[in-house]
Structure 1
């Protein structure tokens, strides 16, 4: 089983682009104990999300199957943006 820890922003999904609108700034530090409800949880196998393990760490375990395991966040707006993420793979 491939154990993967994601720190910071894991996956960003862009939906609903409209002209002349900007995305509101956000920062996710994954400090727990509960995940912000704006995150979309992808867990087709069930049980892949371990959750918060340490300060600023959110753990997802995926068996490298064909199903998806991850987090997504809906963003809106147009133009360029920057996303910084720190990810540790084990």
Structure 2
């Protein structure tokens, strides 16, 4: 499942992650580096397993189970906030 940003959501990289702005509502979300890494992977067409592998590569002490759980949590939160859509 890859993701795309909703048309009225823009993303900007920051020094320690990413900021998402919902231009329709004026609300914004700040993602930490790990959440930004997962989102970038999914926006680039990767599957959740690819995002979890990227997360583990960035954080070698992270277990595969934790990386999978974190990826699922991040994905669910982004979908629930209606910042992204599944494509």
TM-score, scaled relative to structure 1: 0.28
Q: Tell me: higher relative CO, structure 1 or 2? Use CA pairs within 8 A at least 6 residues apart.
A: 1
